[in-house]
């Protein structure tokens, strides 16, 4: 194993940004970061609020303004090219047949290798075709077992490694070179496909922390968790700069602010990769910067749709995270399903992939297509797309069509539709990434450091810290928070005792439930044996005998309690199934009134439970679990305190850590989170981004109270959105 390089693990965001600045100087100073904004409908703040920024601030949360570019900067990766490695790669490529080369460019799903009739994996085709890569999509597990143990994952990883193809290098003494087949997995908030793994808050919550040190540590923890189950490659982090909260993947974005995405992208990549001392390799996991290049700018927030953006907007908004991730050494870039300016799907856009990413930016790693993304290119199918190869895609995610993709592509090359030089370039890039990752030197996955150790899947302390830092306090009238831990507490709401709701999509299953695509898709608390619900965390904090729980507060005399904690919000979704502006994103409903950011319309049971517990002279503290900012003025009006908890993951106890005082009455944890996205003051107020003309949010980007704040939120305008839904 190559030596570990300490300086990269301790690298802060400021150092990384300085490195990037040396690569490509901006043409002008950028505007300053938005400050913590005063609540526009609040009374005048106490002067003590001026100390809030200093209370939060440290080197880890010092987010530098994003530089402004007039042209695409050339990024110099932290991983240096090695002349001897490049010569060796050329010799291997020269020895490969066309079929072997195309095999390296192909990625299949592990489910496609499973034979249910024999209840075994059939790996002969993997060896015969020389498949270069495998993946498991969201909701795909060894032997389709949702509760597969670490040993089950590792056994399959070993079998795939054993079946990897070999190439004979010619010479006086011909040598056999095994080209390891590597395995990619959607590890986007921990190793989230694996039973028993700790799941961190989704990106939107980490954006609220603005903590680059936390992001780096999460990256390192994710790397350990992924290597424990035998994978080499994570399909993350997502580098989207979300610009319309109706998008079903909003929670996968750190922020609407490019500066926040820029800082966290470099930090997360640094933690996941763990560069070696020689600067030519790494011993963490292969990271993926995705989805190139402007998925967060989707028109109307519609997933897999169209993005209207100038090249200047691409550079200065949507690409900022790519610049730092690539500078930190990211080795793969994934191209998704979007179109830019109605130019056709990005996976077939040569200007974006080759002219900009490879030639101008100077990326020398590999470009991978998203799951069956090439099938959306005009004239292509899932198993046949010379346009995408010629555009610059190097590795093709064709989960169940790889057996025909390889011969189809070979035929295209022989017919002159794809130049051999493009094939050789793609294979060179793939082998370069495998070599830099140390895969040619590594033993079987089970023999590698950290392999098969289930303890590496769990990091309670780090995840709980992330939850504490991510919480954003929007309202705390009369300083009802923090609560004393010796009081009688009524907990209500559907999300209080639902780890499913607090983890969201991409959590053990693809959608995280309640969408049902099979018997294993809907999650239960028992599916997270190392997790803790928010209710469980509250009980642990104050004692189970002081806590009463009722989902809807039916038949409860609220006056018998000292405080009510209502945990409400969205139920899980991912990708297009979370889009607000479409019927599909509203559980397939044609009810147009659901196509709104209004919480009461989308989740009427939440408003009902708040109405049941409010107005009894007992303070109501509402905790909103959601993947985006929502129009929730009616719910805020019904609450004495209101907390945006985002999607906190498996450590629900982190919420209680901040809501309650210590047993001795002292404040153990204050609120630190600041809004990563602007909070709407109307149901149809989207897009809503700082710097937009007429910017008028309910709570501005960067807003967040602490226990030192003396801001009183008045009655907010709760006028409902149109019954016909938002235009």
Question: What is the 3-state composition of the chain as percent helix, strand, coil, each rounded to the nearest 5?
Answer: 40, 15, 50
Q: How many CB atoms lie within 10 A of CB 385?
A: 27
First to last CA, the chain: 57
8 Å CB contact between 497 and 568: no
8 Å CB contact between 671 and 706: yes
Catalytic residues: 370, 575
Half-sphere exposure of 162 (CA within 13 A, CB side): 12
8 Å CB contact between 332 and 368: yes
Distance between CA atoms of residues 261 and 698, nearest Å: 23
Distance between CA atoms of residues 36 and 211, nearest Å: 16
Sign of the dihedral defined by the CA atoms of residues 523, 525, 527, 528, in that order = positive
8 Å CB contact between 345 and 382: no
Q: Which of 506, 504, 502, 723 is nearest to 594 (CA)?
A: 723
> How long a stretch of residues is the chain?
727
Tokens of 567: 């945990």
8 Å CB contact between 519 and 528: no
Q: How many CB atoms lie within 10 A of CB 651?
A: 29
Alpha helices in 374-524 (DSSP H): 386-391, 402-414, 420-436, 460-470, 499-503
Burial class (CB in 10 A: 0-12, 13-18, 19+), 29: exposed
Distance between CA atoms of residues 558 and 481, nearest Å: 18
* Residue showing tokens 């700018």: 297
8 Å CB contact between 708 and 55: yes
Distance between CA atoms of residues 470 and 644, nearest Å: 9
Main-chain dihedrals φ then ψ at residue 509, nearest 5 degrees? -115, 170
Tokens of 573: 């979704």
Alpha helices in 288-361 (DSSP H): 311-313, 320-327, 350
Main-chain dihedrals φ then ψ at residue 585, nearest 5 degrees? -70, -10
């Amino acid at each position: 194993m190559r030596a570990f390089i300490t300086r990269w693990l301790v690298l802060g965001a400021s150092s990384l940004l300085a490195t990037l600045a040396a690569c490509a100087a901006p043409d002008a100073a950028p505007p300053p970061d938005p400050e913590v904004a005063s609540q526009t409908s609040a009374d005048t703040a106490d002067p003590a609020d001026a100390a809030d920024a200093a209370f939060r601030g440290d080197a880890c949360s010092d987010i530098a303004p994003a530089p402004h570019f007039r042209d695409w900067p050339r990024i110099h990766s932290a991983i240096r090219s090695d002349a001897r490695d490049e010569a060796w790669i050329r010799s291997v490529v020269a020895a490969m047949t066309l079929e072997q080369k195309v095999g390296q460019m192909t990625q299949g799903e592990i489910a496609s290798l499973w034979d249910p009739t024999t209840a075994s994996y059939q790996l002969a085709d993997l060896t015969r075709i020389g498949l270069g890569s495998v993946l498991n999509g969201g909701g795909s597990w060894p032997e389709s077992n949702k509760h597969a143990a670490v040993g089950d994952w590792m056994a399959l990883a070993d079998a795939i490694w054993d079946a990897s193809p070999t190439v004979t290098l010619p010479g006086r003494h011909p040598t056999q070179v095994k080209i390891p087949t590597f395995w990619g997995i959607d590890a986007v908030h921990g190793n989230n496909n694996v039973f028993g793994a700790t799941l961190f808050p989704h990106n939107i919550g980490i954006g609220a922390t603005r903590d680059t040190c936390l992001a780096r540590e999460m990256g390192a923890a994710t790397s350990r968790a992924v290597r424990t189950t035998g994978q080499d490659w994570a399909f993350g982090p997502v580098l989207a700069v979300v610009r319309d909260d109706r998008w079903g993947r909003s929670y996968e974005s750190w922020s609407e602010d490019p500066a926040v995405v820029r800082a966290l992208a470099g930090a997360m990549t640094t933690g996941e990769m763990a560069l070696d001392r020689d600067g030519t390799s790494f011993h963490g996991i292969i990271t993926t910067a995705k989805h190139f290049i402007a998925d967060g700018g989707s028109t109307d927030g519609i997933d897999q749709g169209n993005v209207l953006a100038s090249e200047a907007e691409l550079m200065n908004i949507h690409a900022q995270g790519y610049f730092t991730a690539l500078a930190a050494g990211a080795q793969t870039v994934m191209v998704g399903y979007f179109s830019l300016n109605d130019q056709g799907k990005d996976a077939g856009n040569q200007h974006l992939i080759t002219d900009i990413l490879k030639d101008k930016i100077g990326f020398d790693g590999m470009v991978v297509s998203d799951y069956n993304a090439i099938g959306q290119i005009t004239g292509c199918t899932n198993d046949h797309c010379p346009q995408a190869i010629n555009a610059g895609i190097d590795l093709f995610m064709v989960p169940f069509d790889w057996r025909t993709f390889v011969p189809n592509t070979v035929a295209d090359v022989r017919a002159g539709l794809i130049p051999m030089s493009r094939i050789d370039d793609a294979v060179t890039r793939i082998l370069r990434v495998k070599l830099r990752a140390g895969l040619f030197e590594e033993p079987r996955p089970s023999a590698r450091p950290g392999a098969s150790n289930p303890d590496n899947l769990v990091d309670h302390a780090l995840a709980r810290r992330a939850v504490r830092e991510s919480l954003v306090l929007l309202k705390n009238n009369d300083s009802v928070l923090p609560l004393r831990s010796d009081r009688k507490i009524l907990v209500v709401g559907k999300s209080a005792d639902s780890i499913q709701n607090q983890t969201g999509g991409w959590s053990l299953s693809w959608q995280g439930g309640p969408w049902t695509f099979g018997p294993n898709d809907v999650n239960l608390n028992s599916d997270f044996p190392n997790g803790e619900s928010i209710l469980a965390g509250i009980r642990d904090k104050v004692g189970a005998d002081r806590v009463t729980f009722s989902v809807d507060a039916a038949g409860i005399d609220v006056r018998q309690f000292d405080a009510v904690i209502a945990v409400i919000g969205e139920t899980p979704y991912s990708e297009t199934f979370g889009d607000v502006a479409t019927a599909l994103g509203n559980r397939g409903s044609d009810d147009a009134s659901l196509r709104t950011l209004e919480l009461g319309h989308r989740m009427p049971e939440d408003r009902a439970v708040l109405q049941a517990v409010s107005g009894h002279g007992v303070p109501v503290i509402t905790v909103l679990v959601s993947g985006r900012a929502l129009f929730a003025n009616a719910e805020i009006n019904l609450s004495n305190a209101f907390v945006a908890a985002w999607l906190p993951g498996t450590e629900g106890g982190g919420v209680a850590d901040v809501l309650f005082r210590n047993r001795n009455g002292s404040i153990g944890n204050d609120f630190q989170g600041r809004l990563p996205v602007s909070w709407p003051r109307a149901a149809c107020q989207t897009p809503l981004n700082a710097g937009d003309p007429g910017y008028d949010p309910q709570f501005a980007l960067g807003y967040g109270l602490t226990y030192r704040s003396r801001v009183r939120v008045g009655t907010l305008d709760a006028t409902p959105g149109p019954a016909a839904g938002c235009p």
